[in-house]
Amino acid sequence: MALRSAVTRLLSSSQKCAAVTVSRAQGTAAATVKDKVWPHSAKEPRSKVAFNWRDALDLEGQLTEEEIMIRDSFRDYCQEKLMPRILMANRHEHFHREIVSEMGELGVLGPTIKGYGCAGTSYVAYGLIAREVERVDSGYRSVMSVQSSLVMHPINAYGTEAQKEKYLPRLARGEILGCFGLTEPNHGSDPSSMETRAKYNPSSGTFSISGAKTWITNSPVADIAVVWARCEDGRVRGFILERGMKGFATPKIEGKFSLRASATGMILMDEVEVPEENLLPNVSGLGGPFGCLNNARYGIAWGALGAAEFCFHAARQYTLDRIQFGVPLARNQLMQKKMADMLTEITIGLQSCLALGRLIDEKKAAPEMISMLKRNSCGKALDIARQARDMLGGNGIADEYHIIRHVMNLEAVNTYEGTHDIHALILGRAITGLQSFTVEK
């Protein structure tokens, strides 16, 4: 699948002969340039195991054949269909709604769910999928994470059979798009003090929901919203709201300099009448939304490393190509040290994500493990992206080189789904037994 686009490009010109010759010469020319810069394998010391900077701890060898096929097929889609769109989508802040349907066709939405038109694959495969999308753009991966972990997952985990039948197949196909409403303008890291209220009306069998949610990925174009509100008994519960319900509005947030390729907005609810069938009955309390967030955070742990890998590879190629003072930039110690640091963090990060994915598949994972890796991957990826931007010099601020877009995006990725510091507090509580979220004991 990887060769298809290259061959199509070369052979679709009418001069087939010339094009084929070009493809042959291109191979050798590239090898020659790299020979001068990077010793050819013939000169390398003969060792049984060669070090592969692209996969330093042989992640490939630890994946099943199925996981490799899933990863390869989806990587091809991302590189061939998503990469060409992202430059302009990000520059002009345009969300391509079609990608949700395209991903639905490939079966990558809600991939870990069994039944209802979903693939029912492993969590490791979900992580590999997230890594490939985020290699292109974190905004696209956010769209996928929201649909899979924050909309399909709560309906699957906490919903009734009727709700699952009604929504999941259409969400899986990308026919309808969902969003997740937890964060409020005055309550981000502290969702338990949310102000959104749900009042039950026994006469109509509906809940009246009022409140405002903000920083909601997909909301301006979403068909449904899974909204969390505090009920009269003091418990937080989840409700499925649908576009068209009176009092439901989703204004777009303007002036965003992160995740520009995905649409972000608010959810404004003014006494929205939600039928009681739309309540998610099988959970109450903040455990509900947190369960969803943990599901998404796991995907983000993999995804952020995909963005970091792109930046690392791009910086490596740039410093190999760019000649200053008569030598490629990559000849310099400062450059090599930076790349060594990037390689190390990405490789170690991926191994930890794989270990976590296997634990989740065996149902042996605790939420703090996910916090630890989400925090690590995002923090390290942001660092790597910034370093890579620096290595590209002036060109690093041009969106054509893509790195600056990842730098912008990773600021949000490091912050949402639990900031870097909040995850530190989650871990601190687990380490010491003492909570440090609030000022009271």
Taking the least distance from each CB to other proteins, the nearer of 93 and 132 is: 132
- In the complex, what is the shortest distance from the CB of residue 54 to other proteins, in angstroms, rounded to a whole number? 10
In 3D, which of 368, 390, 389, 385 has the Cα closest to residue 138?
A: 385
Report yes or no: 180 and 292 within 8 Å, Cβ to Cβ: yes
CA 81 to chain centre: 17
- The beta strand positions in 293-370, using DSSP E, are 323-324, 327-328
- In the complex, what is the shortest distance from the CB of residue 374 to other proteins, in angstroms, rounded to a whole number? 24
Q: How many residues bind other proteins (CB under 8 A)?
A: 36
- In the complex, what is the shortest distance from the CB of residue 75 to other proteins, in angstroms, rounded to a whole number? 10
Please give the span between the terminal C-alpha atoms of the chain, in angstroms, as a whole number. Answer: 58
Coil, strand or helix at 242: strand
Amino acid identity at 379: G
Indicate the helix (H) or strand (E) that contains 269: strand 264-275
Q: Could you say which of 18, 25, 37, 88 contacts other proteins (CB under 8 A)?
A: 25
Q: Could you say which of 18, 31, 88, 398 contacts other proteins (CB under 8 A)?
A: 31
Report yes or no: 300 and 378 within 8 Å, Cβ to Cβ: yes
Taking the least distance from each CB to other proteins, the nearer of 7 and 88 is: 7
Q: Could you say which of 82, 113, 125, 155 contacts other proteins (CB under 8 A)?
A: 125
Taking the least distance from each CB to other proteins, the nearer of 117 and 275 is: 117
- In the complex, what is the shortest distance from the CB of residue 407 to other proteins, in angstroms, rounded to a whole number? 30
- In the complex, what is the shortest distance from the CB of residue 102 to other proteins, in angstroms, rounded to a whole number? 9
Taking the least distance from each CB to other proteins, the nearer of 9 and 199 is: 9
Q: Is 12 in the site for other proteins (CB under 8 A)?
A: yes
- In the complex, what is the shortest distance from the CB of residue 119 to other proteins, in angstroms, rounded to a whole number? 4
- Residue 324, strand partner residues: 327
Q: Is 263 in the site for other proteins (CB under 8 A)?
A: no
- Exposure string for 353-382, b = 16+ CB within 10 A, e = fewer: bbebbeebbeeebebebbbbbbbbbbbbbb
> Catalytic pick from 242, 411, 417, 440?
417
| 417 catalytic residue (yes or no) | yes
Taking the least distance from each CB to other proteins, the nearer of 121 and 414 is: 121
Q: Is 1 in the site for other proteins (CB under 8 A)?
A: yes
Q: Could you say which of 47, 50, 61, 244 contacts other proteins (CB under 8 A)?
A: 50
What is the rounded distance in angstroms from the CA atom of residue 131 to the CA atom of residue 128? Answer: 5
Site string for other proteins, 84-113 (x = CB under 8 A): ---------------------xxxx--x--
Instruction: Pick the piece of the chain touching other proteins (CB under 8 A) from 65-73, 161-169, 279-287, 356-364.
Output: 65-73
- How many other CB atoms are found less than 10 A from the CB of residue 432? 9
Q: What angle do CA 316, 395, 313 make, to 5 degrees?
A: 20
Instruction: Pick the piece of the chain touching other proteins (CB under 8 A) from 1-9, 87-95, 212-220, 235-243.
Output: 1-9
CA 241 to chain centre: 24
Give the helix ranges, DSSP H, for 92-189. Answer: 98-106, 123-136, 138-145, 153-158, 161-173
Pairing of strands 114-115, 118-119: antiparallel
Residues labelled catalytic: 417
Where does this chain bind other proteins (CB under 8 A)?
Answer: 1-4, 7-8, 11-12, 20, 24-25, 27-29, 31-32, 41-42, 50, 65-66, 69-70, 73-74, 76-77, 105-108, 111, 119-121, 125
